[in-house]
Amino acid sequence: MDQNTKPGVDLGPLPELIGYVLRRAQLVVFQDFFAAFAPYDIRPAQFAVLTVIERNPGLTQSQVAAALGIKRTNFVGLLNALETRGLAERRQTARDRRSYALYLTADGAALMRKLKPVLKAHESRMVAKVGADGRDRLLALLHEIAEA
């Protein structure tokens, strides 16, 4: 049921506020992601980090964090967890001993291959809510909002 029409509770201006409705939609999409990826114990931010490392082996921690808009402190914890699980690794760079380059391990790469159909099925469920055309319009509008 639409939250607008839920009987008895007046949400006032909330259902017309971009931030409120964005948050409600994001939580619904993440719920589906959590459920689909739970057997692999992978959360959305972890998936994003693994994707960027897979696509750009050898980037530094700061580069990956910046590309995803993740704060450095949060990123370190995230990466520690992936490294402990043997999915990603830090390698010291020759150029700067304080800087680490990031790579997937063989296990990390294998996991990413396994996750491809899981991601595809999740995304299909989300697209089904608005149709392929709705998806394109939604992504375009969201990119406009996300631009600084």
Residues at the site binding its own copies, with contacts judged by CB under 8 A: 1-4, 6, 8-30, 33, 44, 48, 51-52, 54-56, 59, 63-64, 67, 69, 119, 122-123, 126-127, 129-130, 134-135, 137-139, 141-148
Please say which residue, 28 or 110, places its beta carbon nearer to its own copies: 28
Residues 6+ apart with CB under 8 A from 56: 63, 64
Please say which residue, 91 or 137, places its beta carbon nearer to its own copies: 137
Q: How far apart are CA 148 and CA 143, in angstroms?
A: 10
Please say which residue, 38 or 142, places its beta carbon nearer to its own copies: 142
Q: How far apart are CA 71 and CA 103, in angstroms?
A: 20
Distances (CA, A) of 82 to 8, 36, 87, 90: 45, 19, 5, 10
CB of 74 to its own copies, least distance (A): 12
**Distance of alpha carbon 70 from the chain centroid:** 10
CB of 126 to its own copies, least distance (A): 5
